């Protein structure tokens, strides 16, 4: 599967990757990138695979964490997202690839580490994807990934989506809930066990998201995610209204500059 195979509203392409990287990266993803990579023991890792690398925020920390002799394959299904990552990390030793999590192009028992931050929510067949992770991992090695907790536990996103849904059709499109659709710990554990994993650790972890200003946060939220495609498809003029309303509410609730709010994610570690 590549970006071209996805419905347009599910595509991280066009102007989305740049806004995603510039605004949403430091706001949401940097704190968890540091957290996830900090749980990795680099000793013995000869081949590490990162799925859903996006614009390379986790990749940068991962490359620094691993031994200089370790091979790092960083991948995504979006060529536009990877283009930004490649440019940002062009001096680093990284093998960039387009990879679908449901069909990993590696032999069985060949990978020492699999990392995926905030990607599995978008994978259609999660059971198949987890089986693939189990297949390619070496015995005793770790698979680590993160997903977002429920929408209500992510304050900034909750405000944004409550504003945006006024402009969306009823019933709400799949893109509205998709990023927050994988937060049932028992379901995640069950899927991993079906795939063959025995040792599993799941933790819900709250952090603070910080933006230089409510204005920057509103800019990134409105133009750096999947809902952007939904709005633009219906009426591009709505986007200005959404940004104005969003900035106002974010400033009132979490501060104008800087803006600080609570967010929550699930970090999963599983060993083969």
Instruction: Dump pLDDT digits (tens) for 215-268.
Output: 999 999 998 878 888 898 899 999 999 999 999 999 999 999 999 999 999 999
Q: What is the pTM of this model?
A: 0.93
pLDDT for 170:
87
Q: Which residues contact 190 (CB under 8 A, 6 or more apart)?
A: none
Q: What are 78-125's pLDDT values in tens digits?
A: 999 999 999 999 999 999 999 999 999 999 999 999 999 999 999 999
Name the token pair of 265.
Answer: 């994610």
- The CATH H-level superfamily of 3-271 is Vaccinia Virus protein VP39 (3.40.50.150)
Count how many residues are written for the chain: 272
Contact indicator for 267, 205 with CB cutoff of 8 Å:
yes
What percent of the chain lies above the pLDDT cut of 70? 94
Chain segment 120-179, per-residue pLDDT in tens = 999 999 999 999 999 999 999 999 999 999 999 999 999 999 999 999 988 988 888 999
Q: How far is CA 270 from CA 45, 114, 184, 202, in A?
A: 16, 10, 16, 9
Q: What percent of the chain is predicted at pLDDT more than 90? A: 84
Per-residue pLDDT, 198: 93
**Higher pLDDT residue, 14 or 19?**
19
* 101 φ, ψ (degrees, to nearest 5): -60, -20
70 in Cβ contact with 94 (< 8 Å) = no
């Amino acid at each position: 599967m590549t970006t071209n195979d996805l419905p347009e509203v599910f595509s991280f392409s066009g102007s989305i990757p740049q806004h995603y990287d510039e605004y949403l990266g430091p706001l949401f993803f940097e704190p968890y990138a540091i957290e996830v990579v900090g749980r990795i023991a680099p000793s013995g890792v000869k081949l590490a695979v990162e799925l859903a690398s996006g614009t390379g925020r986790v990749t940068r920390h991962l490359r620094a964490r691993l031994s200089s002799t370790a091979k790092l394959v960083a991948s995504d299904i979006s060529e536009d997202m990877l283009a930004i990552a490649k440019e940002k990390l062009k001096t680093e030793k990284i093998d960039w690839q387009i990879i679908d999590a449901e069909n990993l192009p590696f032999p069985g028992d060949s990978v020492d580490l699999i990392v995926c931050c905030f990607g599995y929510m978008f994978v259609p067949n999660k059971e198949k994807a987890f089986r693939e992770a189990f297949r390619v991992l070496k015995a005793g090695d770790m698979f680590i990934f993160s997903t977002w907790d429920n929408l209500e536990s992510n304050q900034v996103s909750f405000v944004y989506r409550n504003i945006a849904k006024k402009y969306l059709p009823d019933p709400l499109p799949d893109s509205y809930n998709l990023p927050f659709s994988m937060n049932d710990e028992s379901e995640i554990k069950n899927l991993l066990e079906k795939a063959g994993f025995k040792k599993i650790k799941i933790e819900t972890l709250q952090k603070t998201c910080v933006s230089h200003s409510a204005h920057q946060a509103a800019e990134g939220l409105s133009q750096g995610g999947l809902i952007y495609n939904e709005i633009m498809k219906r009426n591009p003029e709505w986007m200005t209204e959404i940004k104005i309303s969003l900035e106002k509410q974010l400033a009132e609730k979490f501060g104008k500059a800087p803006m600080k709010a609570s967010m929550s994610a699930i970090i999963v570690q599983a060993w083969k």
